[in-house]
């Protein structure tokens, strides 16, 4: 790609989970005091972008965007078919059931299926689990065990029984199929970025060793937890184990097969490593059974995690990071642990490590291990300090940061804490803007998907759902668009006419701001030279 000319440094700030909602009292972004974003809207180039569904490579426009596909879209500069779509295709065509990994699994004693049980379609989908169960039964697998992680994050916060009750009935109709264990996704198994290996340890002890509070069924477990703690949500349900008169019904044992059926990678890598790695320092696994382990997809193509998988992951080449490095542009990339992999691995097309060691500096600020509504400011100020320091150093052409507050605090469903989170983010953007004004840099601010912008569950008519006279909190992502702000007063840019643009257009926009051309096949850039 032609290297046109050297341009001012660009600060690319991703406000994770800060979408553009109804602009009413259900919208924590609107209810927050955001003088910086308000001023940016008035003084910068501004428009809205699609950040969900087909605009980010998901199967339908009913599918919420998420940070993985959002950062893929930013870095790819074009729409890439994502995990959910690829799994749908592999199941629909039957290709999944013809692969070598599937055939190996069908030769195991017991088939164990571990993953998130909901229709959120962010990490997993209940239809995929059902297809795996039906396919295994059809192919002669007589003993099937499900280890069900409850959601409450990508779906309503206490909706687990919506999927668990019919799933147990479907399993009961098969010769020897049962739910064996489970618990909330934010307490066990689904850690990411090595933020808290104790989550994975709890999952290992529950699913593999059969350790957890005993119940006769998963439905009984969830109902008991709801009754004992009216405030507990599905993502924080304690570990439970299903037992009969002989004890746990589904420990993972020697000679078994295990599928981790989530398609999204970030929260699947650590449990995959626990099953596969010989030298494993993170917790004592005890006697480790020799099993055949497969992921729904290969979650890290560079590190080959896991070794065996059912569906090929998306292949993303020609990323923004590659073009920047090849053109000699220097990048500084930073986030806290919860989103560090997004501004690095996912932005770089599901590629581990740096694209060019000489051209890139990456920095991770370690996230706190507490519920995020207890400290809604998170690490935003420290990230902002580091980004401004990188800008002042004069060493970097591209500074990329993710402020995770809107998403991580929004997922707690705590409205007041989410307002505080958004206000903190707004303050940090103000600091970045002041530094850009002083140093002659360009500021591009956007989001990867919505969340904090819709904190109340709505019915199909868009009216708030009431429970005991109170609005029902929402802790999942939204289908709302996200804002795009570009402040570049020293450059002759204007908004281009790109109808229905999605966040994939950010990629080409970043390359134009870096003085590079728009690569073939990229989505149209959001800007053009003013007449």
Any idea which residues carry the catalytic annotation? 67
Rg over alpha carbons for the chain, rounded to the nearest Å, is 23
Cα 454 from Cα 27, distance rounded (Å) = 5
Q: Are 64 and 482 in contact (CB under 8 A)?
A: no
Cα 336 from Cα 421, distance rounded (Å) = 15
The β-bridge relationship of strands 177-184 and 240-244 is: antiparallel
Cα 153 from Cα 265, distance rounded (Å) = 17
396 phi and psi, to 5 degrees? -120, 145
Cα–Cα nearest to 153, from 196, 193, 122, 189? 122
Cα three-residue angle 194-196-198, rounded to 5 degrees: 120
Q: Are 206 and 249 in contact (CB under 8 A)?
A: no
Cα 96 from Cα 255, distance rounded (Å) = 22
The β-bridge relationship of strands 331-336 and 398-403 is: parallel
Cα 252 from Cα 260, distance rounded (Å) = 13
Name every residue whose Cβ is closer than 8 Å to that of residue 132 and which is 6 or more positions away in sequence.
Answer: 113, 259, 261
**How far from the centroid of its chain's Cα atoms is residue 374's Cα?**
21
> Tokens at residue 158, please?
């206490």
Cα–Cα nearest to 117, from 172, 173, 63, 168? 168
């Amino acid at each position: 790609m032609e290297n046109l000319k050297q341009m001012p440094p660009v600060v690319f700030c991703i406000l994770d989970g800060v979408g553009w909602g109804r602009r009413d009292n259900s919208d924590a972004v609107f209810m927050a005091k955001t003088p910086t974003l308000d001023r940016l809207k008035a003084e910068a180039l501004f428009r809205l972008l699609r950040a969900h569904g087909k605009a980010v490579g998901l199967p339908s426009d009913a599918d919420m965007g998420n940070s993985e596909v959002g950062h893929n879209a930013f870095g790819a500069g074009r729409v890439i078919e994502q995990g959910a779509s690829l799994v749908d295709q592999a199941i629909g065509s039957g290709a999944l059931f013809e692969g070598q990994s599937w055939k190996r699994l069908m030769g195991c004693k017991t088939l164990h299926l571990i993953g998130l049980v909901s229709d959120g379609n962010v990490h997993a989908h209940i239809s995929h689990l059902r297809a795996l169960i039906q396919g295994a039964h059809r192919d002669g697998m007589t003993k099937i065990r499900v280890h069900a992680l409850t959601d409450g994050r990508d779906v309503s916060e206490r909706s687990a029984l919506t999927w668990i009750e019919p799933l147990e009935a479907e399993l009961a109709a098969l010769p020897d199929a049962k739910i064996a264990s489970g618990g909330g996704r934010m307490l066990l198994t689904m850690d990411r970025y090595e933020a808290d290996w104790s989550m994975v340890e709890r999952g290992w002890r529950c699913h593999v060793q059969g350790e957890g509070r005993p119940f006769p069924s998963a439905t009984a477990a969830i109902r008991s937890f709801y009754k004992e703690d009216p405030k507990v949500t599905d993502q924080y349900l304690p570990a439970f184990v299903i037992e009969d008169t002989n004890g746990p019904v589904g420990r993972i044992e020697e000679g078994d097969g295990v599928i981790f059926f989530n398609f999204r990678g970030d929260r699947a890598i650590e449990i995959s490593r626990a099953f596969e790695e010989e030298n494993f320092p993170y917790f004592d696994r005890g006697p480790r059974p020799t099993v055949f382990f497969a992921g729904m997809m290969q979650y890290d193509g560079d590190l080959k995690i896991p070794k065996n998988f059912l569906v090929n992951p998306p292949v993303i080449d020609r990323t923004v990071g590659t073009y920047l490095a090849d053109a000699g542009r220097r990048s500084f990339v930073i986030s806290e642990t919860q989103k560090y992999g997004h501004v690095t691995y996912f932005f770089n097309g599901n590629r581990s490590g740096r694209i060019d060691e000489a051209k890139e500096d990456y920095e991770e600020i370690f996230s706190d291990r507490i519920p995020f509504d207890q400290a809604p400011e998170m690490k935003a100020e420290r990230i902002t300090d580091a980004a401004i320091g990188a800008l002042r150093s004069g060493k970097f052409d591209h500074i990329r940061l993710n402020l995770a507050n809107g998403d991580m605090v929004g997922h707690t469903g705590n409205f007041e804490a989410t307002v505080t989170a958004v206000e903190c983010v707004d303050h940090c953007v103000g600091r970045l803007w002041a530094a850009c004004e002083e140093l002659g840099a360009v500021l591009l601010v956007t989001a990867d998907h919505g969340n904090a912008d819709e904190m109340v569950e709505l019915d199909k008519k868009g009216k708030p759902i009431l429970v005991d006279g109170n609005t029902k909190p929402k802790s999942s992502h939204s289908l709302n668009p996200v804002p795009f702000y570009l402040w570049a007063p020293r450059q002759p840019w204007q908004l281009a006419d790109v109808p229905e643009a999605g966040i994939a257009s950010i990629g080409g926009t970043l390359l134009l701001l870096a003085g590079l051309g728009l690569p073939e096949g990229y989505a149209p850039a959001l800007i053009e030279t003013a007449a």
